[in-house]
Amino acid sequence: MVRGNYFDLLGLSMDATDDQIQDAYHCMARKYHPDIYLASGNDTSLKDVDFVEITRAYNTLKDRAKRDAYREFLRKRGNTPRSEEQGPDQRAEHTRLEMARNAYQRGMAEMRQKRFQSAKELFQTAVHHDPIEPEYYTMLGLAIIEAGMGFSMAEMNCEKAISLSPCKAQLHANLGKIYLKSNIKSQARKKFNDALHWDPNNRDAREGLSVLEHKPSFWQKFTRKK
């Protein structure tokens, strides 16, 4: 396991978002929680797996005030996380990521207004500027399917998101929604269940499974209107 400061311990950069911090912790908890770790036949001494330290890191970084104070402490100490080491292109990198975030936020606004074509183009811009952020890919997939622009591209982008962050429940749920909208029920059910594996309270996954179990037929809808 990576040793060092809390950001490095969780595999995060110093500008990690709340969601990224939570996802990193949940992913490590699934792997290193003592009950799971021991059940997998690993060394019972747990010398290389300090889950208490992982939890301490999470409890510090999930609180924004504590996170800011810890970040300032690291900078004063001259201990910058490996992911934040200085380089000649750091300023350009920061600008690129800001452009990606801006495009993503505008895309989300377009999604809320159901302007899916415009949202798709903005999410494509976000992916272009930051090709390792899973949230951009999953929203691109949803925008594509909502715009009626093709199942395969929507599926591909959502799968890319999952490959980048396999422990994030919402990414699995979003792919499930694409399968459900495309009437691929078996795959939809699998992805909703995958989402619940990572987060048993994921609302989209629960609602998706409810739809699969109780969705009325066209004839039932028609007779109800009568």
For 48-98, what is each residue's pLDDT tens digit?
456 788 888 889 999 988 888 888 888 877 655 544 554 555 667 778 888
In a domain, 185, yes or no: yes
Cα distance between residue 141 and residue 122, in whole Å: 12
Q: How far apart are CA 30 and CA 14, in angstroms?
A: 23
Q: Where are the beta strands (DSSP E) in 158-211?
A: none
Task: Based on the fold, state whether residues 132 and 111 are members of the same structural domain.
Answer: yes
Last residue of a domain, one of 84, 119, 138: 84
d(CA 83, CA 119): 30
pLDDT at residue number 1: 44
For the chain, the farthest-separated pair of C-alpha atoms sits apart, in whole angstroms, at: 73
**Domain of 67?**
6-84
The Cα–Cα gap between 102 and 105 comes to 5
Of 22 and 108, the one with more pLDDT: 108
Handedness of CA 41, 47, 52, 53 (dihedral sign): negative
- Nearest residue to 192 via CA among 214, 179, 203, 208: 208
Is 1 within a domain? no
| pLDDT reported for residue 35 | 60
Q: Is 154 among the domain residues?
A: yes
* Residue 196 neighbours by CB under 8 Å, 6+ apart: 169, 202, 205, 206, 209
Domain end residue (candidates: 52, 84, 116): 84
- Give pLDDT, residue 203: 93
Centre a 10 Å sphere on the Cβ of residue 7 and count the other Cβ atoms it contains: 28
Identify the pLDDT of residue 110: 96
The domain tally of the chain equals 3
Same domain, 100 and 161: yes
Query: What amino acid is encoded at 59 in this protein?
Result: N
Claim to verify: residue 161 and residue 218 sit in the same structural domain: no
CB 153: neighbour CB atoms within 10 A?
A: 14
Q: What is the CATH number of the domain that holds 131?
A: 1.25.40.10
Mean pLDDT taken over the chain: 81
Q: Is 213 exposed, middle or buried (0-12, 13-18, 19+ CB in 10 A)?
A: exposed
Does position 33 have pLDDT exceeding 60, yes or no? yes
Q: Which residues contact 158 (CB under 8 A, 6 or more apart)?
A: 137, 138, 141, 142, 171, 174, 175, 178
Per the CB < 8 A criterion, the answer to whether 165 and 175 are in contact is no
Supply the CATH number for residue 22's domain: 1.10.287.110
Tell which of 137, 165, 193 closes a domain.
165
184 to 30, 137, 142, 180, 221: CA distances (angstroms): 29, 21, 15, 6, 20
